[in-house]
Structure formats: structure tokens, C-alpha cells
Chain A
Amino acid sequence: MVVRFPEDQRPPAWKIAFFQYVIVSTFVALLIGYWRLQIAEHRYYQQQAERNRIRDLPVIAPRGRILDREGRVLVDNFPAFSVLLLREDLPKLTPDRIRGIAQGLEIDPGDIQQLLDKTAQLPKFQPVMLKPDATPADIAYVESHRVEYPELELLQVEQRFYLKHEFAASLLGYVGEVSEDMIAKSGDRYRPGDVAGKSGIEREYNDVLSGRDGMRRVVVNSRGQEMGSMTTINALPGNDLRLTIDFNLQMAAETALGDRSGAVVAIDPNTGEVLALASHPSFDPNDFAHHINRKEWSQLNTDPERPLLDKAIQAHLAPGSVFKIVTATAGLETGTITPSFTIICPGYVTLYGHTFHDWIWKKHRGHGSVDLHRAIVESCDTYFYTLGKMLGIDKLAYFANHLGLGSRTGIDLPAEDPGLVPTPAWVQKVFKHKWYAGETISVAIGQGAVAVTPVQLAYMIGGVAQGGVFHRPHLVFRDELEALGQDPPGGRLVKFPLSPETVAAVTSGMWGVVNEGGGTGAGARIAGLAVAGKTGTAQVVSVALKNSAHNADYKNNAWFVGYAPASNPQIVVTALVMHGGESSVASPVAGAVIKAFFAEKQSGQTPASHWQTQASLAPVVGGHLEPQSAKSVEGPR
């Protein structure tokens, strides 16, 4: 029997019903909320979940090594660590934490913030390179602060290593973090913190040398621990690059230059292969492979000797008397003179109402009676003043341009200087005045506004010695580039045929420069080898290098461009000794390189080959062989 308690004690039934309505409406509201997330916005949250658990870790592709022509390693890599910054928990990176990380890794907190800003567009699961070159202390710091700073991660990388430090540095170049500009241009290839070539070979052949970084997409939990990997894209290592450079010859060039400021370029004129390319002072590219700090950078940039300048291709200097080869060639080719054209040199000449002194005037005398041969041998200014006036600037400029001056040789290095061959049109455009006739006279002996680079002079002399065949200087073998799927730079050679008579006259003059009495290039003489060449003393420092000359100890730049053997050149060498004073300081430098070249050849594959070629020299230069010189050539036999 049910016994009910009195009805007045019972709370009204509507109140229970009210509770039920509350429950129903609340639950419906909750279900609507879940409907929105799970059905309406499902796609969005699904993507979020995917991103949540994946992380892309780069697999760094080792950069290709750089070898010399014999396969000797010049640039290699060694394993090192980089510090990555994981960006999944970005808002957790408060200024305080950034400061902490910056302090621990000894970097500027501003740099971290900048890096984060730069990479704000990247997916959150892609980490960024915080410090490409982790020191042992950094590694220890990251390892010991895993709990405190889980956003730091170590990544094994291949650090660039320049085995010989300053050796061939300006040629090889250096690598560094890619610039924003490069990132923008590269499509998706580069990301902040990636390494790319910044100068020299490293930059020119960056595409060959740099591999393609791989990627490991890993599943991680909320603490960043790897739970497995989803996909792996293997890294494609960069290609090794074999240079035409000969290690021994490069060493000889740098040794010969010593601690003097200047450059040496050695080229095989038959092919254009660059055998040595030295520039001093230089720098240690390893300093760049590490993160170079602002102080070191500005030091390198403000050094008056400009160590970052590759003087072999970037020095913009007056060629001085080396230019007389152009003047002589122009005179002969245009028929203005013949080799027998003779003047009497009293030590000066008055042209256009202005007296032009010969360099020999310092000794208060002249060269006396000189024909073309003697004029080249003794570097008689008066002869070429006269010839310059006879030719006029237009013909001089025409030949200078066609013999390879005034424009880039096309050597496969970045930022080659084109040099300058002045013309009336150029003067009008730049200085807004008419060409002064006297300027032609200066140009004829390689002064005035005319400017060249060491590589240009080697190119020019080599081409003239080859009878007008100019092989584009290059540092990488063309067929090897093609094998790597690269387009070799166009223009293998330029032909500007010179008559054999012209070549014979000019080369015999250059042979005399080195081997005859009164020759200005005796310093390059090598017993038993027919070395030819031309000296030069540049009195005017060009604008580009004006700042580099200390006013106090300002001296002329000394040039020597030589080749050997004279009849069938296998090597042409430009030596530039800046502030060297007399041109005689440059010829021994070139001589040393030429000597080293043939010494190596002799001990190498084809012994004595150059001795044989030398025998054919006599018919070519026969008319000018003087008994004394001939003896010195034939002596060793």
C-alpha cells in the first residue's frame, strides 16, 4: 500500500518539469556546439590536427667539394651541428624566453626576433635555422636545457672547410647564409638560414656545388618527441667541382707574390684554362663559414688593401706599357708602320704643343734610334707616343677592344671588372667635354683613363701570341660542366685574326724584353726557356683603388705579362705587384710561375716537351735573335 506524504509537502510538479526542460535545452545547445566543430568545421580542424603532429626536419645536403685539376681537394666539408628553432609553440616564445635563448647561445635577441618575423609565413611545423654554426658550448647548452627550452633542436650539418685557409681564397670565394634577395628569387629552394655561395667559385657554381636538402617529416607528440617518421626525402649531395687550377702553380704564384699586394693570373692560351689565379692580401673563407660577426666584416671591408677584392679580376688599373703591345699591333695591322719604322728618341717628344717625356728621361737621355723591336724591348715611350699620334684614338680603341680590353673576358667568376678603353664618345658622355688630342698620346702607352684587370692582360697577350685567337678564360672544364647538366657560359673563343708578320714582330719584341740586353723584363728570364713578355708601370691609380694607396708610401703599380715558349705559348702569366715601384719587381713573379709550370710539366707526363717546341722558335723570331740571347737560349742543350 502506497503511503503518500501530504500533498502540501510535495514541491509542485512543474518544478521537476522545469528541470527537465533545462536539461533538454542545455543538451541541445551542447550538441549544436559539437555539430559545429565536428561537421561544419570538420575540415579545418582536421588540417589543424595534421599540422599538430607533423614536423619537417631538414636533411642537409653536403655541398660538393672543390678540387684542383689533378683532383686535389681544396674545399671540403666536416660534420658540425646547427641549432634549429622549432616554431610550433611560437606564442610561448615570450621576449623573456628569447632573451634566455639568446644569452645561452650568445646571439643577439634582436636577430632571433628578426628571424621569426622573416619566417612568419612558413608553416609552423617547419623549424628555422637559429645558429648554423653551433660551438661545442652551444651543443652542450641545448642538450642541458631540453626541458627549459624544448623549442631548441640540434641538426647535424656539413660545415664548409677551406683546407688551405687563405690559399686561393678570393678565387674560391666563401659561403654564407642566403640573403633575403636570394630566397625570394629561388622559389622554394632556399629558406632563411640556408647556406649558399657568396663569392668566387662558390657563388658562380653554387647550383653545381649545392645539393638539394632533403626533408624528414616526422610525427611528434606534444612534447616534441619523435614518434616515427612519415616520409623521408633524401638529400641530394652537391656535385664535386674540378677546377682548371693547378694546386702547385697556384702555390707558386702565391709564394712568388709573397706578402705584397697584387695579383697573379696564369692561363693556358691554347684553351683558356686558368691555371692559377691569386690575389693578395686575402682572407680566410673559414671565417665566413662560421657566422662572421659585424666587426670582422667591417674590418675586411674597410681594410685599405681590400682583401675581399679579387684583384685578379676586379683590380681596375692602368696597364701602363703593357698596352704598347696593343699600340704596336694596331700600327702593324693598319699598315701605319712596318717593323722597320724607326724614330730617334731624345727622351721626349713634343706633340700638339705639349712635351711628352719618355720614362728614360729620368736618366737625362733618350733611347736613341729605335725600330719597333727595340721600342718594345726597351719600352720606348717616345716611339709609341709618335705611333699613337699617327694612329689616332679611334684605331687604338678599335684594336684595344678587339684584343680583349674594355670588356669582360667572360671568366666564370662573379663581378669581373670590364676595364675601360676610353673613346671620344665616352669622354663626351662622362666628362661632357671634347677629346683632347693629348689623351690619345697617353692612351698609346697605357696611361690616362685606360684601365684593365690582370686577367684581361693575360687574355690579351695570350690572344696576340696565338695570332688572334682568344680563348675565354675559364676555371671549370667545359665538358665536365655539360656532364653535370649545366650550360657552360657561351663564347668559347673569339677570333680576331692577326697577320703572321704582325705576330712575329710583336712576339719577337716581347722575347727581347726578357732575353735581350736593355730589355725591361730580364727578371723573368729562365735559362733554357724562351720566355716572352711585356712590362708595365702604371702611374695612375684608378678610381676604384685610389683609396687603397697609402699616400705616404704611394708607389707605381708594376706589371709583367709573360708567356712561354715564345713561339708556341703554353702558359701566359700576368703578374701585378701593387705599389711595387719599378716594373722590374713584377717580372720575377711571373718568371717564377712560368718556371714552376715547366718544372712540373717536365717532371710530369711529357718530359722535355717544351724544350722541343723551343727549337722551332728561331725561324719565327729569327731576325731579331741577338747572339747573346741566342746563346742563353741554346746554352743548356
Chain B
Amino acid sequence: MILTVALILAVVGVLEIYSTTVHSPLAGEYKRQIAWVVVGLATLLVVSQLDYHILLDHSTGLYILGLLGLLALLVGGHAIGGARRWVRIAGFTFQVSEIVKLIIIVWVASYFADKRTKAVSWRDLAVLGTMVGLPAALVALEPDLGTALTFLPIVAAGVFLAGVRFRQIAALALLGALMVPVGWHFLRPYQRQRLMTFVHPAKNVQGSGYQVAQSKIAIGSGGFWGKGIGKGTQSRLGFIPVSHADFIFAAFAEEQGFVGTFLVVLLYFVLLVRLLDGAQLAGDRAGIFLVVGLTAVLFFQVCVNIGMMIGLLPITGIPLPLMSQGGSSVLFTFAGLGLVMSVRMKRLVNL
């Protein structure tokens, strides 16, 4: 079921990438995406056959490896568009933060697996905050605030699941509020502008609000039935930025209308709910945290991505899982799903 839904979404993504780029210099992109989906599928099959406990056992080693990778990236990473997010492996550029995301899920799961208490302690919060905050900060420095933010739901979901007291939530909220001005200081000008645009969308309609304005026009003009495949003027004439990647859902909504929107949201819903079902069935505590961690990340990404298209959330460079063009994202998602399937399969295995 999970695999089927994931495949449908990936195929819809490939079709939309084809439709939106066929008359542009990126015309071949959909083929690359197909290749990545195939690679992702293969990874999923391999990972699902693995015993996820192997990963859990080496979670600390993986964590250190990921951290080193991020550090190396900041020093000598492959810069695209001013951001050092990628490494080049055999001609393919790969986004390190996507693997780190998976590593964080595994590390958080293994951390909670050993906790038997009903609730997390202050010390737990401090450890988690530091251990996840460090790689998040490194990713944010690339700069890739969007991906750095995706680490947050992993910890949040884990902490909630492990048991958290209201006092602690209140304290964290307070801390977060205090961090806002500090964080604002560290934001790049374009990031600040995006946030300001989110708060005052009308103020900067053609500046950084341009992207939201254009994606809203695309989505709204799609109507109920949509304009049809290849007929989305907004995406094909380049009014939607990166309509094959982060903004693919705007392009899709333009061409397929509310019907398409509804169906895709439904597919994501089915996928996420099925993933949570897997958590119920997990054979051990670590399995639950693995599944919930992945579900939280995917949920977060889907919501932020689909929500930012219509101005419900500020614009952050977060791809839509499975649909957006991008090898790293596809690979991470399929690998993560493989992990969840591994959890499902291993529930019957007597340890």
C-alpha cells in the first residue's frame, strides 16, 4: 500500500516535471527524475530487507559521519546558486543534508529506544537540543534554512511520543520566543524578506512576494478541472519559479485543478496514515520512533510546501516529497520508506 501510493505520487511528479519543462532548457529533467525514482525504488527494496537495528546500533557513528560531512561541505562543497549544499559523486550532485535527515531520524529513534521513563527529563531535552541543533545549524549555514527546519519535527514528534510535561513545553516555547530576535539577526536578507513577505504579503507583491503571488495566480487560474497537461501558462511561461522543483505543486494545481489537488492531498494523507499504522505495529520502541520520525518529517514537508504555495506559510526551500524534482530528496524519501517497511517486516521477527 505504502509503496503503491509512493509510486503513484512519484509518477505524478515525473509527469508534471515533463509537462512543465518540456519546452524549456530543462526538457530532459524528467528522465533524470525517472532514473532517481528507479534508484530510489531499488534503495527502498534494499533497505526494507535490512534489519533496521543495524542502523540503530551504529547511530552514533552515523551521526558523527553526517556531522563531518556537513562540516566538509561548508569548507569545500559544490556551490549552486550561492549555497553550498551539494557534493559531487560520480557526476551526480547530492544534497548531504538529505542523508543527515535520515541519520537524525535514526539517531533520535535510538536515543528514545533506550529511555524507559514515562517522560523526558530536562537533561534529555538539553541533549536532544544540542545533538540535533548542531547539524541543523550547520545546514542553516549552507545556507538552507528550509532543510534545517525539517529536523525540528523529528525531535518534536519524538519528545511528544516519549512524554513531555506542559512545563517543559512552556519552557521550550519561551526559549523559542527568546531566540526569535537572535535568530532574526542571523538570517540572510533574502530570508528576512521572505518572512516579512509572509507577514505582509501585499507589501511586496513584485519583490519577494512575487513568487507567492505568481503561484497563487497559477493555482487559482487552474480552477476546478485545471488547464490540462502542458497547458499551464503560468508554469510554462516561467512565471512560477522552479516550477519543476519546489513549486511543482503550483504547476500541478494549475494544470489539474482542484480535482488534482484533492487527489494528491488524499494520496499524501493515505501515505502518512499508513505510515502511522506501521508505528502501531512496530516490534519495538525504536521502530515506533523511526516510523514517527519519518512520518513527522514527511508531514512537515508536505504541509509547508503545499501551504506556502498559497501563502499560508512563509516560503522556504522545502521540496515536496516524492513529487519535486531532485535526486537527494527522492532518494531520502524512498530510503526512509524502506526503513519503515523494514520496521513492518521485522515486527514478526523474534529477537
Contacts and interface: CB of A to CB of B under 8 A. Distances in A.
Interface of A: 1-5, 8-11, 13, 15-16, 19-20, 22-24, 26-27, 29-31, 33-35, 37-39, 41-42, 44-46, 48-49, 52-53, 89-92, 219-223, 227
B184 interface: no
A222 B238 contact: yes
Contacts of B217: 45, 48-49, 52
Interface in B198-235: 204-207, 214, 216-224, 233-234
A19 to B, nearest CB: 6
A45 B238 contact: no
9 contacts: A4-B283, A9-B116, A19-B292, A27-B265, A30-B306, A46-B221, A52-B214, A52-B233, A222-B239
A602 B217 CA distance: 76
Nearest to A29: B312
A2 B161 CA distance: 23
Contacts of A90: 206
Given A91-B204, A221-B239, 19 more contacts: A1-B350, A3-B351, A4-B283, A10-B285, A23-B299, A24-B269, A30-B307, A30-B312, A33-B310, A37-B219, A38-B223, A38-B253, A45-B216, A45-B220, A46-B223, A49-B220, A92-B206, A223-B238, A227-B237
B280 interface: yes
Nearest to B295: A19
B39 interface: no
A437 B223 CA distance: 89
A23 B206 contact: no
Contacts of B347: 2
Contacts of B272: 23
Interface in B305-322: 306-307, 310, 312
B36 interface: no
Contacts of B161: 11, 15
B111 interface: no
Query: Which 7 A-B residue pairings sit nearest by Cβ, starting from the closest?
Result: A45-B220, A49-B221, A222-B238, A37-B220, A91-B206, A38-B258, A221-B237
Contact of A41 (B220, B261, B296): B220
Contact of A42 (B205, B207, B224, B279): B224
Contacts of A19: 157, 276, 292, 295-296
Nearest to B287: A5
Given A30-B306, A31-B265, A222-B238, A15 B160 contact: yes
Contacts of A4: 283
Contact of A11 (B162, B233, B261, B269): B162
A34 B237 contact: no
A45 B221 contact: yes
A9 B285 contact: yes
Contacts of A29: 312
B303 interface: yes
B116 to A, nearest CB: 6
Contacts of A37: 216, 219-220, 310
Contacts of B265: 27, 30-31, 34
Nearest to B158: A11
Contacts of A89: 206
B84 to A, nearest CB: 26
B206 A34 contact: no
A177 to B, nearest CB: 28
A34 B310 contact: yes
Contacts of B219: 34, 37-38, 45
Interface centre among A9, A16, A38, A92 (most CB of B within 10 A): A38
Contact of B280 (A9, A16, A91): A16
Nearest to B306: A30
B47 to A, nearest CB: 22
Interface centre among A8, A22, A27, A92 (most CB of B within 10 A): A27
Contacts of A44: 220
A13 B224 contact: no
Interface in B256-287: 257-258, 261-262, 265, 268-269, 272-273, 276, 279-280, 283-285
A16 B295 CA distance: 11
Contacts of A26: 299, 303
A3 B350 CA distance: 6
A597 to B, nearest CB: 66
Interface residues of B, number: 55
B234 A49 contact: yes
Nearest to A18: B160
B220 A42 contact: yes
Given A34-B258, A49-B233, A91-B206, A23 B306 contact: no
Contact of A33 (B234, B279, B307, B350): B307
* Overall SS of chain A's interface: helix
B310 A48 contact: no
B23 to A, nearest CB: 9
Nearest to A9: B285
Contacts of B292: 16, 19
B261 A38 contact: yes
A205 to B, nearest CB: 44
B237 A219 contact: yes
Contacts of B205: 91
Given A30-B306, A39-B223, A227-B237, A49 B218 contact: yes
Contact of A46 (B204, B220, B348): B220
Contact of B163 (A11, A46, A48, A92): A11
Contact of B207 (A2, A22, A92): A92
A223 B276 CA distance: 45
A52 B348 contact: no
A430 B222 CA distance: 73
Contacts of B261: 31, 34, 38
Interface in B35-60: none
A215 B288 CA distance: 66
Nearest to A11: B161
Contact of B285 (A5, A15, A52, A222): A5
A13 B279 CA distance: 10
Contacts of B285: 5, 9-11
Given A11-B162, A19-B295, A52-B239, A5 B307 contact: no
B159 to A, nearest CB: 11
A5 B205 CA distance: 56
A218 to B, nearest CB: 11
Contacts of A223: 238
A48 B221 contact: yes
A38 B220 contact: yes
A59 B108 CA distance: 66
A29 B304 CA distance: 12
A35 B272 CA distance: 22
Contacts of B257: 38
Contacts of A219: 237
A16 B237 contact: no
Nearest to A22: B299
Contact of B269 (A15, A23, A41): A23
A91 B221 contact: no
B258 A30 contact: no
A39 B310 CA distance: 13
B158 to A, nearest CB: 10
Contacts of B237: 52-53, 219-222, 227
B312 A221 contact: no
A42 B288 contact: no
Contacts of B162: 11
Contacts of A34: 219, 253, 258, 261-262, 265, 310
A30 B303 contact: yes
A89 B262 CA distance: 33
Contacts of A11: 161-163, 285, 288
A277 B253 CA distance: 70
Contacts of A33: 307, 310, 312
A45 B262 CA distance: 19
Nearest to A52: B239
Nearest to A94: B207
Contacts of B221: 42, 45-46, 48-49
